[in-house]
Structure 1
Amino acid sequence: MVLVDLELQPFLLTSHQVWFRRKISAAFTPHLLLPPASNSEFTEMAWEGVIGAVDAARESKQQVVETEHLMKALLEQKDGLARRIFTKAGVDNSTLLEATNDFISLQPKVTGETSGPIVGSHLGSLLDKARKHKKEMGDSFVSVEHLLLAFPSDKRFGQQLFSNMNLSEKALKEAVQAVRGGQRVSDQNPEGKYEALEKYGNDLTELARRGKLDPVIGRDDEIRRCIQILSRRTKNNPVIIGEPGVGKTAIAEGLAQRIVRGDVPEPLLNRKVIFLITYCLSHVNSLVS
């Protein structure tokens, strides 16, 4: 392995591998060790994953930061987008993380003083692939889903991992599309906006489909009136007003049950009724205009 001094021989650097010989204090942030990537081109969650990859390599006493370290960092993000996408694809995140840790444990370790983690060629290639996915999807920043979509092309780790998990590239793309819901990455914090209704509301139609709702009795007129209003072409927003405990939620549940039974006009078939948890609105002000 040849170490290149940034200050003396910058012309020897490639787009995938840049090494620092300078001793860097632990107080400096890890992103100084990852020149092939800049936080200005990544979303906040994606950049946290890149930084987390450096930490994962350090914790494992491995000098080369590679794709397996990035996967570990993404899987360990609390309420992370990667976990939501894998869940949507039918993959168990705990099993995925265990397989990733097993792979990391097999990699060479270093002892003694080193110049700090360096970028592996496979990770550099994966970041380039993620940038291509960003461009193809018409996004402004590299997000977590772009990183995940690059893993099927990773011959070092990603291909074998997904093969062992029976996760195809097609299934991964479908999961990404389902979670994104047609949204575009136009700022550096888009991940929190994905599946906002699922995160901050309850799907009453799904609960009705699973038999989790009690039968609604004595509210036929109100439910029928809601259906009539919802079926209009204009002015189709019913508002149910009443004191707490008079049965407003029961009307919404009754509507959800009728949708599941197919006892609604065609425009309402296969629609969803979402019960928004209003006290969560303070956490999603950026989603409401």
Structure 2
Amino acid sequence: MSDTPREIELSVELQIAIQVAASEAQVRRHEFFGVEHLLFALLHDSKTARVLERCGCQVETLRVHLEEFFTTEVEELPEDADVTAQPTIGLQRIIQRAALHVRGAGRDRVEGPNVLVSMFSLDESFAVYFLETEGVSRLDVVSEISHGDDEDPDFDAPDAFTEEHAEDEAESGSYLERYTTNLNSEAREGRIDPLVGRAHELERLAHVLMRRRKNNPLLVGDSGVGKTAIVEGLARHIVQGKAPSPLLQTTLFALDLGALLAGAKYRGDFEKRLKGVLRELTQHTGDAVLFADEIHTIVGAGATSGGSLDASNLLKPALASGKLRMIGSTTYEEMRTHILRDRAFARRFQKIDVDELSADETFAVLKGLRGRYEDHHNVKYSVAALRNAANLSARYLNDRRLPDKAIDLLDEAGAAVRLRHALKEAKRRRRLADLTAPDGDIDVDRTLEAAESSAGLHSPNEEPVSRLKVTVRDIEAVLAKIARIPERQVTSDDRNALATLQTDLQQVVFGQDHACEQVATAVKVARSGLGPEDKPTAVFMFTGPTGVGKTELA
């Protein structure tokens, strides 16, 4: 077998288009004919025009834009000048690039759509600008070339491709149903927790969504501050009629990027799914907003090795034209690492900072969520337990953020109390079973059923006799296990220890009354709330000769 490279030829339609482009430049008295002239000529090629129409392009509108460009932007030679239009370097490069792509694909003929794809390499040309204005991206054209021929009767797909996609095509439901979650429906069915506070962030979110251009909010904050809860809270407000009137007809869809990527084996599968989601969003009855949690994962999602075609590039035209409104959420670190690297994608969003809540604000959040967790664990949280869950988590769980760490502490405390009570009841049942004779008068089954009921182990629909109470002591015990510190050190009320701190130090360290007073004063100031919350309680450096009590005081 010969290793001679296959000779690449231009299709008859493409050769005609190049001749038409040269003739068009000649008639208009242009010195050169470039990419814009070739694009104008390709609009008369039926195959290229069909690809553009499937990408959502209005061919007539594109032709009008090119006519205006030739009239206003390209300089005409004088009437007496000899006109022989020459091809530009850019035109030659895109044809060469198209030939290389065709050879890499194992084919031997360059056609109009192949040249259309290679045009996007000249991203600063007017031709690419006009195409993007019509909402056409390089990814759209590639996807149409790969999958757009499915409707043609002469298209003969490989058997493996057909079998793999038969199951996908047979799946019931639309793209929105398969790859997104309707947050309005979730809120309507009561599966979204109420949003407490965050009035400023909700107001900013509404302002950005109601803008004419760049109406895409980007919630940025540390993990656990409640970015997703804000979007879910907006869906809940829309369902309850509490949202601003221009947003009452809005439906929020949460994008499931994992489902989009799952099973996308062939080149173009991922793009086809995402394009289907975007198309159905724009066709959705009423206003539709797409929510992408952890939006930094979109940058690079679906890209092949060495390629630049990913989800973010597919979203750019829709976001720029205003046809799609999108809410994103990410952290500051991920935004710097991923999103800001793609400036064109980042500038289509409006940043909204979501700061960590204070302990008092977290206490209000816990009171708002109190009923949900009481119903789930069949317990009762005291107000003091809620207050201490906010304060103690803020003090001891420094690697996480409020309100997430306080909610987790509250949730685990409820689970611990219920489990402890269930274990006690299990021991009691075993004792009853051991003490009851086979012919005894005690009904063991009924006794066990009563024990299960008192432990809260029956279904939630059954009304419990009495609920277990979660106290401050339970919160402190669970926090000690989470933070891995001695339980005796976890206390929300250390006023008694602080009141006698100086005296206790002086009883241990003799002759250093001034140093003991300084240490006690610094600790009292920090514990009273007068010091910065994000700083250590105190920082000391004890200096002095050997044996004076530095180590003992520490």
Largest Rg, 1 or 2: 2
Normalised by the size of structure 2, how large is the TM-score?
A: 0.25
Normalised by the size of structure 1, how large is the TM-score?
A: 0.47
